Amino acid sequence: MKVEIKEIGLSGVDFLEVLNRSPVRDVKNAGRTLHECMRISAYIFVGKADGQVACIWGLIPPTLLSDQAFLWLLHTDLVHEHQFTFVRQSQRVMETMLRRYKVIVGNCIVGEDKSIRWLKWLGAKFGDPQGNKVPFVIRAKNG
């Protein structure tokens, strides 16, 4: 089994294929939201398992000069099937992202225990739930 994570451009992956295999496939306007996140991201990454897309995520800075970015992620069951390999690869990518952005923020859905655990492995610290979302922050070690 080969797992790889790499940076891609806006047209580097069929995002509808990923969306259709994700937990949010039936959420109203999920495709539009994903496309908008991809469009305004400074960086977009794709994770694959044996050539099949397992996840896609990106970083959205509020300005071009910001040292902070918002992290978004869309995953499929393939991530959970190969979670330890993806975590190891994600930790390496996170180190690179934290050299560019000193602070990475985001939200996780309350009850998404696998996603919360994954984010903790990446260094996330969680705030108090706000509705159905839990905010998180990942800081560079020197930041």
Q: Report the distance separating Cα 50 and Cα 48, nearest Å.
A: 6
Positions in the chain short of pLDDT 50: none
3-105 adopts what CATH topology?
Answer: Aminopeptidase (3.40.630)
Structure tokens belonging to residue 141: 């070690």
For 90-100, the pLDDT digits (tens) are 888 899 999 99
Q: Report the distance separating Cα 12 and Cα 115, nearest Å.
A: 24
pTM value is 0.83
Can you give the residue ranges of every domain in the chain?
A: 3-105
For 27-49, the pLDDT digits (tens) are 888 888 888 888 899 988 888 88
Sign of CA dihedral 37, 110, 139, 88: negative
**H/E segment holding residue 107:** strand 103-109
